[in-house]
Amino acid sequence: MPRQTDRQVLTEEVLVLFTQQLLTEEQESLNNLLYEESNDSDSDDGKDIPAPQLSEVYLEILRELHSSRYLQQRISILKTPQQLWLPLNVYKKDHPELFRSYLWISPATFDILQIPVDQQLAVTLFRFGHYGNAATLQKVGLWAGFGYGTVDLCTKRIMAAICDARFRWAVMQWPTEKQKEDAKAWIESRSCPSWRDGWLMVDGTLVSLFARPGFYGNTWYDRKSNYSLNVQLILNLHIIDYGVGLPGSQHDATAWKQTRIPQEHGTLLKAEEWVWADTAYLLQTWCQAPYKKPEKDTRNNSRYNYYVSRVRVRSEHCVGFLKGRWSSLRGLRLHINNPRHIHLASIWITSCIVLHNFAMQNEEGEDVEGNEFYREGVCTRMVCRNTGKTMVDAALEEIITTLSKMEWLLKSGEAALKPSKRSTPWVLTHKTSTSYHEPLGVVAAIVLWNYPLHNAWSPILAAIFAGNGIIIKCSEHLLACWPEEAPALTQSRYIKHITFIGSEKVGLKVAQAATVHLTAVTLELGGKNPALILPGTDIKKWFPMWMRGVLTALESNASSYMNRNMNS
pLDDT for 242 beyond 80: yes
Q: Are residues 109 and 144 in the same domain?
A: yes
Query: Which one of the listed residues 188, 316, 366, 524 is annotated catalytic?
Result: 524
Are 243 and 347 found together in one domain?
Answer: yes
The pLDDT tens digits for 77-121 are: 777 777 788 888 888 888 888 888 888 888 878 876 654 578 889
On average, the pLDDT of the chain sits at 81
36-50, 92-106, 171-185, 194-208: segment of lowest average pLDDT: 36-50
Q: In the predicted model, is pLDDT for residue 550 greater than 60?
A: yes
Output the pLDDT for position 360.
Answer: 84
The number of domains in the chain is: 5
Average pLDDT over residues 46-74: 70
Q: Is residue 535 part of a domain?
A: yes
Cβ 127 vs Cβ 135: under 8 Å: yes
If DSSP codes are grouped into helix, strand and coil, which group holds residue 262? helix
Q: Are residues 550 and 477 in the same domain?
A: no
Cα 56 from Cα 63, distance rounded (Å): 10
Q: Is the domain of 507 the same as that of 558?
A: no
Q: Which domain holds residue 156?
A: 82-162
Provide the sign of the torsion angle of the four alpha carbons 364, 365, 367, 368, taken in this order: negative
- Shared domain for 476 and 551, answered yes or no, is no
In a domain, 407, yes or no: no
Cα(372)–Cα(362) distance, integer angstroms: 19
Q: Report the pLDDT value the prediction gives residue 474, as an integer from 0 to 100.
A: 75
User: CATH no. for residue 442?
Assistant: 3.40.605.10
Specify the pLDDT at position 32.
79
pLDDT at 247 over 90: yes
Burial class for 189, CB neighbours closer than 10 Å (0-12, 13-18, 19+): exposed
pLDDT digits (tens, 9 = 90+) for 312-324: 888 877 887 888 8
Q: Are 450 and 502 in contact (CB under 8 A)?
A: no
Co-location of 447 and 549 in the same domain: no
Angle among Cα 259, 328, 161 to the nearest 5 degrees reads 65
CA–CA dist 492, 97 (Å, integer): 48
Q: How confident is the model at residue 506 (pLDDT cuts 50, 70, 90)?
A: confident
Catalytic annotation present for 504: no
Q: Is 147 a residue whose pLDDT tops 70?
A: yes
User: Has residue 284 got a pLDDT over 60?
Assistant: yes
Q: For residue 508, is it within any domain?
A: yes
**Of 30 and 412, the one with more pLDDT:** 412
Q: How far apart are alpha carbons 341 and 360 in whole angstroms?
A: 29
Sequence-distant (≥ 6) Cβ neighbours of residue 478 within 8 angstroms = 386, 449, 452
Judgement on whether residues 203 and 140 belong to the same structural domain of the protein: no
pLDDT at 559 over 80: no
φ, ψ for residue 212, nearest 5 deg: -65, 130
Tell me if 568 is assigned to some domain.
no
Q: Where are the alpha helices (DSSP H) in 191-248?
A: none
- What digits encode the pLDDT tens for the residues 430-468? 888 899 989 999 999 988 777 778 888 889 999 999 999
Assess whether 246 and 338 both reside in one domain. yes
Q: Are residues 26 and 97 in the same domain?
A: no
Look at residue 226 and tell me whether its pLDDT is greater than 70. yes
- Reported as a single tens digit per residue, the pLDDT across 345-387 is 999 999 999 999 998 888 766 555 554 445 555 566 566 656 6
pLDDT of residue 156: 92
From 164-173, 452-461, 545-554, the region with the lowest mean pLDDT: 545-554
Cα→Cα distances 486→300, 451, 475, 489, Å: 24, 19, 10, 5
